[in-house]
Amino acid sequence: MNDLTHVNRQGRARMVDVSAKDATLRRARAAGKVLMAPSTLELVRTGGTKKGDVLAVAQVAGIQAAKHCWELVPMCHQVALTGVDISFSLEEDGVAVEVVCTCRGETGVEMEALCAASVAGLTIYDMCKAHQRDMVIADVRLLEKDGGKSGHFVREDGR
């Protein structure tokens, strides 16, 4: 009837059945950024926020988000993640976040990686909001995914 995979013949939402798919190694890489003032960035760098180590808390929050993505995004499958790695880069205009998620399964881990990048960014915002309220969580995006029938995807602009 249509090309949307999450819509049934009646036009209603459904969770796609992946039981006939082969379990393969799946990997996804996502990123985002929290834009902030230099003074806020300096607090992150030096551990000077009132709430503690911003990046340590954001690291754990991002991992938790990847593990619980299926509970937050209605049509996501529960995925048995085999790895979640989050890295941060302190840049001139803020904190860049990059996430890599892996699993061996019937469906990909793009949503888990995107969820982790988003929640890590939200956590950085939460940890720094007493100092700056106008931070911006920006550019959450899929950078790369591999595995499964659709193969390897790399974002064209590489960023």
Q: Where are the domains of the chain?
A: 30-145
Beta bridge partners of 28: 101, 145
Active site residue 126: yes
Q: Is 15 annotated as a binding residue?
A: no
pLDDT digit string, tens, across residues 101-152: 999 999 989 999 999 999 999 999 999 999 999 999 999 999 999 998 888 9
65 Cα distance to chain centroid: 8
pLDDT of amino acid 91? 98
Q: Is 75 annotated as a binding residue?
A: yes
Residue 77 annotated as lining a ligand binding site: yes
Tokens of 140: 């959450």
Query: Across the chain, what does the average pLDDT equal?
Result: 93
pLDDT of residue 13: 85
Class of domain 30-145: alpha beta
Catalytic member of 85, 93, 126, 139: 126
Bigger pLDDT: 69 or 5?
A: 69
6 is in an annotated binding site: no
3-class SS shares of the chain: helix, strand, coil, % to 5:
30, 30, 40
Q: Is the model's pLDDT at 38 over the cut of 60?
A: yes
